[in-house]
Amino acid sequence: MTKVAKVLMGMVLGLYLMVVMGISPAIAADTAHGAQVFASSCAACHIGGGNVVNGAKTLKIEALNQYEMASIEAIKIQVTKGKNAMPAFLGRLTEQDIEDVAAYVLAQAEQGW
């Protein structure tokens, strides 16, 4: 098999996993590290996926869906820029920290915290 054929086969397999199996590129994120970031930077307000400031805007999957936040990108933007009572973490957390914590939050939400 040629190098080009191997690359194409890898791309096809990747697309298959993303589309058919529902596996997203967020798998590359380190959710164990995301859990550590969450514990040190987020849990004070969002323990167990809750929200001590605004009880309606939790990190539960229903609320994430309702507020169009049920994606890695949406969560990353919220963590990076902040909004309303939530502070921005740009400059406090690295891009990798934010990627990892976003993947952790979404995974936890999908599992019911």
What is the SS3 string spanning 67-104?
CCCCCHHHHHHHHHHCECCECCCECCECHHHHHHHHHH
In a domain, 60, yes or no: yes
For residue 42, tell me if it sits in a domain: yes
Instruction: Return the biggest CA–CA distance within the chain.
Output: 58
pTM for the complete prediction?
Answer: 0.76
Does any domain span residue 35? yes
Number of domains, the chain = 1
Count of beta carbons in the 10 Å neighbourhood of residue 18: 13
Q: Per residue in 31-59, pLDDT tens?
A: 999 999 999 999 999 999 999 999 999 99
Q: Which residue range forms the structural domain that includes residue 107?
A: 28-111
pLDDT confidence bin for 9, thresholds 50/70/90: low
Which DSSP category does 112 fall into?
T
| Assigned domain for 7 exists | no
Across residues 80-102, what is the average pLDDT?
97
Choose the weakest-confidence range: 14-23, 26-35, 63-72, 90-99: 14-23
- Is residue 11, in this structure, part of any structural domain at all? no
* CATH number of the CATH domain containing 35: 1.10.760.10
